[in-house]
Amino acid sequence: MDADRLQSAFRDVPGLYVHIPFCRSLCPFCPYNRVLYERSLARDYHAALRREIALAVEAFPGEFGSLYVGGGTPTLALDALATAIADLRVEGERVIEVLPSHATPETLSRLRAMGFNFVSLGVQSFDDDVLRHLGRPTTARQNRAAVENAVGRFECVDVDLIFDVAFRDARAFLADVETCVSLGVEQISTYPLMRFSYTPFGKAPHARRAEHELLARAEALAARYGYERRTVWTLNRLGAPTSSSITREFYLGLGAGSASYTGREFWVNHFGVRQYIESVDHGELAVARAMRLPTAVSAGYYLFWRSYASRLDLRRLEAHFGPRAGAATRVVLMLLAAAGLIERRGTEAWLTPRGRDVYHDVERWITYQLIEPLWAQMMAEHGDPGVVGRAGRGRRGLLWALTERALRA
């Protein structure tokens, strides 16, 4: 795929996602593509990433809409990362995920000098029992110090929190939320523990109503400190910006395990680091699976993921996908409004509190029915018998069977 082909695939200038898959240790709850850090493998990987980024810069010589660097642990090799992204021009926010034990004043100053103005701290909890339950490599004390070091250095400090209602009662999670607001972070990203079948947490059931209630209590608590629930899973300080890796209209994913949505197609890169490097060495984007999306399907995909931000601008959807898609979406929105899931405000549709609860459940169902079996299939590229064996037990329902037929290698 050359630069012209890459540019023509997108309906608009994309946000850029860059994936760094390396970690010093692998957290058992994490379903994302990651591998143990090896110096020589990381060196070859960053060389391939530089070539892939160069192609993206050639395709989009102006500015990308945003930059999000995730992982893995992106801060493991900052010199290599700085070289890789040096030529990127970005109009919007530049976000990087940071392991709390790496969030020293020196490293955070380096990130700021590299151009990052948002950081996302993978805190997960300020409770040592919860951290041990999740298998995190940091302590509550390190997590608090990371937040204290970051606040005030960036335009947005996001703190990720995970809650597992099957493990602890509400008090630990609400205490985590209160710690965040007392420290003055701009955003709190709250996530239910996702029980991917290829992780040790397996397929244990979710307590939907308990999760809904806990999120509502967190929202009420944060509101007393001047925060609002701006997306389905984020609490934002009033007037502060929003940071998210999943609310971009269109995005180009670079690196092993990343995905792209062009508005016309959906791509997934190789998960295997060696497969990724070999593809780039052959002068190709490292796409392992791709799907062409009919306009109606693509508009539905856009509608769903934009709704995560709790509001949808119908004018933008129609501008991207045309009046027929806009007319069909109006019918869908009318039905959702009748069910009490959205409210119309001019050309915008906003999720109601009930709508956020339903989205919370539907998003998880889609994750298990589509994302889990896709990632499980791609995890086999690592060649680890333990991973492959667990991945083979991924959920595989009718929706995935239909989708798998449309995904081409």
User: Does pLDDT of 394 surpass 80?
Assistant: no
Is the CATH number 3.20.20.70 carried by domain 3-237? Answer: yes
User: Does pLDDT of 396 surpass 90?
Assistant: no
Residue 389 pLDDT: 47
User: Does pLDDT of 384 surpass 70?
Assistant: no
Residue 245: pLDDT band with limits 50, 70, 90: confident
Within 13 A of 17's CA, how many CA atoms are on the CB side? Answer: 25
State the sign of the Cα–Cα–Cα–Cα dihedral 222, 228, 234, 236: negative
The pTM of the full predicted model, rounded to 2 decimals, is: 0.95
Residue 16 pLDDT: 96
Rounded (10°) CA dihedral 201, 202, 203, 207: 0
Mean pLDDT across the stretch 71-76? 96
Whether 145 contacts 12, CB under 8 Å: no
Angle at 149 between CA 24 and CA 222, to 5 degrees: 100
User: Does pLDDT of 75 surpass 60?
Assistant: yes
User: Does pLDDT of 90 surpass 80?
Assistant: yes
Whether 211 contacts 219, CB under 8 Å: no
C-alpha span between 78 and 67 (Å, rounded) = 16
Residue 388 pLDDT: 45
Q: Where are the domains of the chain?
A: 3-237, 295-406
Residue 407: pLDDT band with limits 50, 70, 90: confident
Residue 112 pLDDT: 97
Quote the percentage of the chain above a pLDDT of 90: 84
Residue 361 pLDDT: 96
Residue 217 pLDDT: 97
Residue 22 pLDDT: 97
Q: Closest Cα to residue 162, out of 147, 173, 170, 154? A: 173
pLDDT tens digits, one per residue of 126-150: 999 999 999 999 999 999 999 999 9
C-alpha span between 242 and 259 (Å, rounded) = 21
C-alpha span between 321 and 391 (Å, rounded) = 36
pLDDT tens digits, one per residue of 272-290: 999 999 999 998 889 999 9
Residue 1 pLDDT: 64
Mean pLDDT across the stretch 109-126? 97
pLDDT tens digits, one per residue of 25-44: 999 999 999 999 999 999 99
Higher pLDDT, 337 or 387: 337
Residue 244 pLDDT: 76
C-alpha span between 358 and 299 (Å, rounded) = 20
Residue 395: pLDDT band with limits 50, 70, 90: confident
Residue 393 pLDDT: 52
Residue 302: pLDDT band with limits 50, 70, 90: very high
Residue 47: pLDDT band with limits 50, 70, 90: very high
User: Does pLDDT of 379 surpass 50?
Assistant: yes
User: Does pLDDT of 391 surpass 50?
Assistant: no
- Per-chain mean pLDDT for the chain: 93
pLDDT tens digits, one per residue of 205-228: 889 999 999 999 999 999 999 999
Residue 321 pLDDT: 97
Mean pLDDT across the stretch 372-378? 92
**Three-state SS sequence of the chain:** CCHHHHHHHCCCCCEEEEEECEECCCCCCCCCCCEECCHHHHHHHHHHHHHHHHHHHHHCCCCECCEEEEECCHHHHHHHHHHHHCCCCECCCEEEEECHHHCCHHHHHHHHHCCCCEEEEEEECCCHHHHHHHCCCCCHHHHHHHHHHHCCCCCEEEEEEEECCCCCCHHHHHHHHHHHHHHCCCEEEEEECCCCCCCCCCCCCCCHHHHHHHHHHHHHHHHCCCEEECCCCEEEECCCCCCCCCCCCCEEEECCCCEEECCCEEEEECCCHHHHHHHHHCCCCCEEEEEECCHHHHHHHHHHHHHCCCEEEHHHHHHHHCHHHHHHHHHHHHHHHHCCCEEEECCEEEECHHHHHHHHHHHHHHHHHHHHHHHHHHHHHHCCHHHHHHHCCCCCCHHHHHHHHHCEC
User: Does pLDDT of 13 surpass 90?
Assistant: yes
Whether 92 contacts 85, CB under 8 Å: no
pLDDT tens digits, one per residue of 165-178: 888 778 999 999 99
Residue 397 pLDDT: 82
Cα-based distances in Å from 266 to 259, 261, 395: 7, 5, 21
3-237 and 295-406 share one CATH topology? no
ω into 386 cis (within 30 of 0)? no
**CA-based end-to-end distance of the chain:** 14
Class of CATH domain 295-406:
mainly alpha
Residue 405 pLDDT: 84
Mean pLDDT across the stretch 148-166? 96
Residue 198 pLDDT: 86
